[in-house]
Structure 1
Amino acid sequence: MTSSLSKISNVLFRKKTFEGGSHLNSQMKRCLTILDVMFIAIGHMIGAGIYVLTGSVVRNQAGPAIILSFIFSGFAALLSAFSYAEFGARFPRAGSAYTYSYVGMGEIWAFIVGWTVPLEYMIGNAAVARSWSGYFDSLVYKSVSNWTLEHVGHLSDGKGFFAKYPDFLAFVLLFIVAVAVAMGSKFSANVNTSFVVLNLAVLAFVIVCGFTYADFSLWSGNYPDGTSKFFPYGIQGAVSGASTCFFAYIGFEALATAGEEAKNPHRTIPLATFSSLAIISVLYVLMGASLTLMVPYDQIDPDAAFAAAFEMKGATVAKVIMSVGALAGMLNNLVTGAFALPRAVYAMADDGLIFGWFGVINSRTKTPLNATIAFTILNAILALVFDLEALVDFMSIGTLLAYSMVSVCVVILRHEPQLIDGSETEYDDGGNLKSWVPFRGFWHKFSEGISIRCAVGTLIFGYVCLALPFKLGIFSNPGGIILLIIGAVCSLIAFIFILGHEQNKSTATYKVPFVPFLPCLGLLINVFMMVYLNLMTWIRLFVWLAIGIVIYVCYGIRHSKEAKKLNTVASSHMSVLKNGDSKVH
């Protein structure tokens, strides 16, 4: 029984290994510069969401304190970005969080992360395509939707999963974007760069134009009822707004999928990560400031904040230019999403965990063309017939799961032994327990790495216990207090136990500072936000994972290249032993 469990464990938790410099080998062409990779992240972060999200948070959650909300949420995103930057520099592969989880946690965890990422991109791309179509339709006075309803008819009443009418414009748009992406990484990067430059120019114009109408009295003093003009919802409003604003930063991880095509990825990925986040953070803060200085927060239209504000000021030209920026921003999202999606799929196929056909690289374009074609068709069908509003939360849980896993992997890998430079057999002290840790003898009975994994697992359990009372609104009830105490004790003990492990002497070109403090803080924020997602989102996640696990059990386990590699090593050891025995006899 124990032997069987051990074999299953070895299969499920086998890790991806790279020999020598094989992590730098790629079938794709390394042609992307720092600017290209940085613009991929910026393009994926800036979309129509910034124009809509800002107004909603200002009006309903934070008021002018939205600038603090963006700063808080930017810091939260930075905590995850630290981990992505380290892994992107150490393992510059197309799989992003999937590859990092494979290296740090093992095959089954990598598959779980890798299986959620493509669906996240598909839903995101389809939703953005429908948003672009709807925005364009509103600019032409609903002529597109009216023509479709008149000549094609209704699909549904619009209250379920199916859309009210088929969105042919979104369908065609996704294929046009896919053609641009399939023509090669450099070509799609140039297309993306063009849209990013246009969008940044529009944002700069909107910010400057907004500041020309600035009235600083809207920020200073109090209203007649004593409410602060800057903090109309209090400091808790700024914090609440930060949790919403965090999703405006989602997208920086898309640049990690370009790791296999980046020139000098050890330097490119960290620099592009932090540069893109810095630029976006400054833009978001300035956007929030210009909006709240233009009009009183309680007069802002949450659905069309900037357009309504400019209309109130009589700035018709600014309103039109802003509309162009919104369309360009959504096209940015589509290009970067269409770029990242097939690469995430390719990474899993290349490792043998899903069907190898998806891992074929076109000899002329040096892109995963099969994956691009297949998933564009699925994307286009989603955009054509489904109302995706109910599924958008699924994007969040997939992203937060990936962020959490990457933070966990940084902690685990930092506490694993590394070969000492110049030696093929000697390891450093990474993962060893420090002398002050109690029960050291107990942990020495277990295989290498078990103690740090138990500590991280306990830490996550503690974080969930801390988050649940706030989610359920029971933090003042006896049950809530018990959960808070359990969560605090588990988290504290687990964190101290992690500190009790020696860190390795890794010579990676970039390393997350202040480990384990920063990754564990980032993990805490991600776990809280995951707990706050609604129950249906979790149910959909488990259903999608169940489908994936069936594919993994029926196909991935048997075709895993890592398994074949381990079998080859085992066979070579057996042949060496047999040859040794024959010589003795």
Structure 2
Amino acid sequence: MGRSTHSPPESGTTPVIRNQDNLKRSITLVGAIGISVNQIIGGGIVSLTGVAIAMTGGGVSVAYVLAVVAVIISSIPYAALAAAYPTAGGSYTWTARLIHPSAGFLLAWLLALGKGSLSLYGLAAGAYLHAINPWFNEAWVAISLVTIFFVANLAGSVVSARLGVFMMILMLLGFGTFAAFGLSKVNWAIYPEVMPNGFVELLSAAALLSFATAGAYGVAELGREMKNPGRDIPLAMIGGTALVGLIYVAVALPAAGVLPIDRVAGEPLSTVAEEFLPHGMWLFFILAGAIVAIISTMNAELLWGTKALLAASDDGWLPKGLGSVNKRFGTPHWLLVILYVLGITPAAVGVDISVIGTAASVFVQIMFAVLVVASLLLRYKIPKLYERSPFKLPLTLHVSLVFASVALSLYQGYLLLGDFDIRAWVAVAVWLAIGVAIALLRYPTVKKTLAEREVQLRNSELPRP
């Protein structure tokens, strides 16, 4: 009889002990959909819709449609990869195993910098609360909220997933109220021009909004904590993105069509909502819609955002103690601290929302380009794993989606790079230089670790003596 891959290896080898093995399988389909919807709807729509209106006027709803289509094209092969190979920190693990370990580490390192987006959500929350009472300072609101959810996530994914379902219901009610009242107030006869700044600017807005629509990928990072990842990841990613896309269009139409463009361009949704919602409903939209959407995204990002670095630390890229998982709560507390520092820094130093959003969108495009290629490589490098998957793609469709996704990601990334300011370039350059230095120094150790683990896994599959 063959030995299970979870059995102890043969004598003479040391058992594989990884921090991620202390994570708990506690997330159900409902929890996965809650995390997915929260991550998509969250801070993106309430922080970037006004920015997109400034770019493309009445075309903001078209930009959302283009963004959703592009994200779904990438999400299908991404979901196929995640369903076949569920793991903690998939963005690192898949890239490291299917492309190269150094590429996996550098992708995880870059995505960690992207957690500066926590400031984006916090600053957006500050803008909405400031609309209620000018006493609220946007930067302090951002730092306070990130701090609160950093502490909350130390309690573990069970608490976070359950809280996420409740938040999802609240914000769907909030945005449903905005859409229902707002659509009835749109004067369709004089709806603003769709492309006042040209087609390229419309595509640039769609590229920016891809960050607001691509949040479902975060659920794939939690494969190690799901009860049925092969089924739940594709449903949460693809279904969640399509559902939220409809909600986005219903919100974007009145956002651009009720007031003159110059009054809503670059402004939070609370500005136009005040025009058509009774005061009580306006407060409900801000608190149950916008604020809950923002904090739910913070919650979800802190829930999955550590997983790639956790997997990287297990392979030796970072000190193993840095990836330690608290055995009581099942959370990587030191990695959460790192994300917390990265998350509050942009708000603390005064970086603008549009700059944070642009940088985060670029990182998402890079991630999609890398991982859809990895999804195709899985078919050839680990064919047995792919064949066992409950979600497989025909080869022709798979290849077509990968080529389309890579082309879209590269083009959207190119459009977004034009909006980088000097601070963004410096931050990315310094962060990547540190990452490359770590990769060069640690690769020999990681290579040895991975080789030893491969021997242990082969030994564990030997027949019993």
- Measured against the shorter chain, the TM-score band is 0.7 to 0.9
Q: CA deviation at 1:270?
A: 0.8
Q: CA deviation at 1:40?
A: 1.3
Corresponding residue for residue 101 of structure 2: 107
Segment drifting more, 537-546 vs 331-340:
537-546
Within 1, Cα distance between the matches of 2:149 and 2:72? 30
Within 2, Cα distance between the matches of 1:415 and 1:571? 23
Q: Which has the larger radius of gyration?
A: 1
Corresponding residue for residue 554 of structure 1: 441
Corresponding residue for residue 408 of structure 2: 525
1:51 matched to 2:46? The reply is yes
Corresponding residue for residue 387 of structure 2: 506
Quick check: which one's helix share is greater?
A: 2
Corresponding residue for residue 97 of structure 1: 91
Contact 1:354 1:552 in 2 (8 A): no
Corresponding residue for residue 195 of structure 1: 167
Secondary structure, aligned partner of 1:398: helix
Contact 2:112 2:305 in 1 (8 A): yes
Within 2, Cα distance between the matches of 1:305 and 1:376? 25
How much identity, in percent, do the aligned residues show? 21
What do you get for the CA RMSD once the two structures are aligned? 3.2
Contact 1:84 1:406 in 2 (8 A): yes
Corresponding residue for residue 270 of structure 2: 307
The structure 2 residue matched to 1:359, chosen from 311, 323, 343, is 323
1:349 matched to 2:296? The reply is no
1:396 matched to 2:361? The reply is yes
Contact 2:183 2:250 in 1 (8 A): no
Corresponding residue for residue 316 of structure 1: 279
- Gaps of at least 5 residues in structure 2 are 8-15, 461-465
Within 1, Cα distance between the matches of 2:63 and 2:137? 37
1:368 matched to 2:332? The reply is yes
1:70 matched to 2:64? The reply is yes
Contact 2:324 2:332 in 1 (8 A): yes
Once the two structures are superposed, residues 92-129 of structure 1 have per-residue CA deviations (whole angstroms, 9 ceiling, x without a partner) of 112121111112102111111111111112x1113323
1:563 matched to 2:451? The reply is yes
Within 1, Cα distance between the matches of 2:211 and 2:30? 23
Contact 1:101 1:409 in 2 (8 A): yes
Instruction: Identify if the C-alpha distance between structure 1 residues 539 and 519 changes in structure 2 by more than 3 Å, giving closer, same or farther.
Output: farther
1:85-484 to 2 correspondence within 5 Å?
85-121=79-115, 123-142=116-135, 144=137, 167-219=139-191, 238-295=202-259, 298=261, 300-304=263-267, 306-313=269-276, 315-324=278-287, 325-377=289-341, 379-380=343-344, 382=345, 385-389=348-352, 390=355, 392-416=357-381, 418=383
Segment drifting more, 531-540 vs 399-408:
531-540
Once the two structures are superposed, residues 320-351 of structure 1 have per-residue CA deviations (whole angstroms, 9 ceiling, x without a partner) of 23321221121112111111222222111122
Once the two structures are superposed, residues 204-250 of structure 1 have per-residue CA deviations (whole angstroms, 9 ceiling, x without a partner) of 0100111232433235xxxxxxxx95665676665454233322213
* Letter matched to residue 28 of structure 1: L
Within 2, Cα distance between the matches of 1:398 and 1:258? 19
Corresponding residue for residue 42 of structure 1: 37
Q: CA deviation at 1:364?
A: 1.2
Relative to the length of structure 1, the TM-score reads 0.67
Contact 2:55 2:202 in 1 (8 A): no
* Letter matched to residue 308 of structure 1: T
Within 2, Cα distance between the matches of 1:516 and 1:412? 10
Within 2, Cα distance between the matches of 1:143 and 1:233? 34
Within 1, Cα distance between the matches of 2:113 and 2:197? 36
Within 1, Cα distance between the matches of 2:399 and 2:314? 32
Within 2, Cα distance between the matches of 1:283 and 1:212? 16
Within 1, Cα distance between the matches of 2:132 and 2:264? 18
Length, aligned pairs only: 437
Instruction: Identify if the C-alpha distance between structure 1 residues 569 and 306 changes in structure 2 by more than 3 Å, giving closer, same or farther.
Output: closer
Instruction: Identify if the C-alpha distance between structure 1 residues 272 and 66 changes in structure 2 by more than 3 Å, giving closer, same or farther.
Output: same
Instruction: Identify if the C-alpha distance between structure 1 residues 26 and 83 changes in structure 2 by more than 3 Å, giving closer, same or farther.
Output: farther
Q: CA deviation at 1:391?
A: 5.0
Contact 2:54 2:266 in 1 (8 A): no
Structure with more contact order per residue of length (Cα contacts < 8 Å, sep ≥ 6): 2
Within 2, Cα distance between the matches of 1:308 and 1:242? 22
* Letter matched to residue 179 of structure 2: I
Secondary structure, aligned partner of 1:47: helix
Q: CA deviation at 1:283?
A: 0.4
Contact 1:88 1:256 in 2 (8 A): yes
Q: CA deviation at 1:77?
A: 0.4
Corresponding residue for residue 446 of structure 1: none
* Letter matched to residue 156 of structure 2: G
Within 2, Cα distance between the matches of 1:417 and 1:184? 32
Contact 1:29 1:261 in 2 (8 A): yes
